[in-house]
Amino acid sequence: MPNNIGLDNINFDKIIDKISKSNKITQRNFKEVSLERAIFMSWYCSYGDCKFCFMSTQKDRISDPKRGRRTYSSIFAEAFLFKKLDWNLEFLSSGRDAFETEELLKISKAMEEIFEEKIWLNIGVLRKRDLELFNSVKGVVGAIETINPELRKKICPSKAHENIENMLSGALDLGLKTGITIILGIGERKSDTELLLDFIEEHDISRIVIYPLNPHEKTVFEDYPGPSTFYMSDLISTLRLTYPKLDILTGTWIDNISSIGLLLLSGANGLTKFPFLKMFGNRYGKRLEKEVFSVNRKLKGSFTDLERIKNLSYDLKVFSFHELAPAIKQKIESYKSSVMKKQSKYRDYDIWQSA
């Protein structure tokens, strides 16, 4: 397994200079920071062997794809909730072979209805002839994870790089946008950056999601520390300086909120992956917003507005899955009640709010 976390040869003066330039370019091209939500539909993946992935820990527990799925009502409830909070759908996602194409077409159409725009898909490799059927999709995300070819073979043994590249090429042929996901801190080298820049150019990538490693229990990475914030900054600022209009999303877990300000200064324009139910409206959500405002950015959407949660209302009559309305409403109520319960658990101290 990899024995480094990519922290080689960092030149801090150079990074700070790059961040300063990236910040100006980002502010020129992006008026606000978006909150992004990836909606996962299943815990089943027929590969289930990517070394960092939570689903690799579930592989032996779920043999029937259908048993690993979330209910439609829970998927749509989540989508309605985030639309009301003005978050973007980062992408619709599931493990490989968890759904039939027909089902994915229907769910994608419903997502388009909810978010009132076409969506991004990240559901594994799709052949061009299948992709063509997805009228509700504006772009596909290739889960590349790491660009380093040798490392990739070890980290994602079943997910062939070439298949993802073919999907991205097919998407471009069909006039769709292309995106990729990259995880940092899994053993890549800083020198891989050149390969990444070439890949972005070659596949006309318009969206990249940079995740730091989130070490899941029972994976080989469970005791890995993940990358430093400066290391992430360095890469993000390189991306921003090279591609001023590239959509750069980043984010991680509740223990890394403090990295946000610097990552935004470095060139990120969207935040993702932060756990909604653990953070919304409490001190964690407030801290996230504070990080955004502290670097002079406007936020699209909210991580704190409890009034929006309390007063959620929906008209599900025109929704294509309207027969699920009672179950969707029930699920939304359970999300609301989870959020509200956390308010008493995490006390807030006004005296600190000006800091």
- How far apart are CB 150 and ligand SF4 at their closest, in Å? 18
If you count them, how many residues does the chain have?
355
Contact with ligand SF4 (CB under 6 A): which of 89, 143, 265, 328? 143
Residue 234: count of CB within 10 angstroms of its CB: 23
Take residue 250 and report the two structure tokens written for it: 């980043």
Smaller CB separation from ligand SF4, 83 or 159: 159
Q: Does 213 bind ligand SF4 (CB under 6 A)?
A: no
CB within 8 A of 197, min separation 6: which ones?
Answer: 238, 239, 242
280 close to 286: Cβ distance less than 8 angstroms: no
Rounded to a whole number of angstroms, the minimum distance from the CB of residue 313 to ligand SF4 is: 35
- Structure tokens belonging to residue 332: 């939304």
Does position 159 interact with ligand SF4 (CB under 6 A)? The reply is yes
User: What whole-number distance in Å separates Cα of residue 238 and Cα of residue 236?
Assistant: 5
Residue 268 lies near ligand SF4 (rule: CB under 6 A)? no
Which helix (H) or strand (E) segment holds residue 315: the answer is none
Nearer to ligand SF4, 156 or 264 (CB): 156
- Rank residues 75 and 85 by Cβ distance to ligand SF4 and give the closer one: 75
Q: Which of 53, 168, 184, 265 binds ligand SF4 (CB under 6 A)?
A: 53
Name the residue nearer to ligand SF4 (CB basis): 18 or 69.
69
What are 38's strand-pairing partners?
91
Residue among 131, 123, 118, 136 nearest 172 (CA): 131
271 contributes a contact to ligand SF4 by CB under 6 A: no
Nearer to ligand SF4, 186 or 236 (CB): 186
Residues 29-48 that bind ligand SF4 (CB under 6 A): 45, 47-48
**Stretches 50-58, 205-213, 266-274, 312-320: which one binds ligand SF4 (CB under 6 A)?**
50-58
Q: Cβ distance 74 to 126 under 8 Å?
A: no
Out of 5, 19, 39, 50, the only residue in the binding site for ligand SF4 (CB under 6 A) is: 50
**Residue 47 in contact with residue 72, Cβ under 8 Å?**
no
Nearer to ligand SF4, 221 or 284 (CB): 221
Buried b (16+ CB within 10 A) or exposed e, 33-68: bbbbbbbbbbbbbebbebbbbebbebbeebeebeeb
Q: Is 126 in the site for ligand SF4 (CB under 6 A)?
A: no
Q: Among residues 95, 139, 170, 179, which is the contact residue for ligand SF4, using CB under 6 A? A: 95
Q: Is 155 in the site for ligand SF4 (CB under 6 A)?
A: no
Binding footprint of ligand SF4 on the chain (CB under 6 A): 45, 47-50, 53, 55-56, 95-96, 143, 156, 159
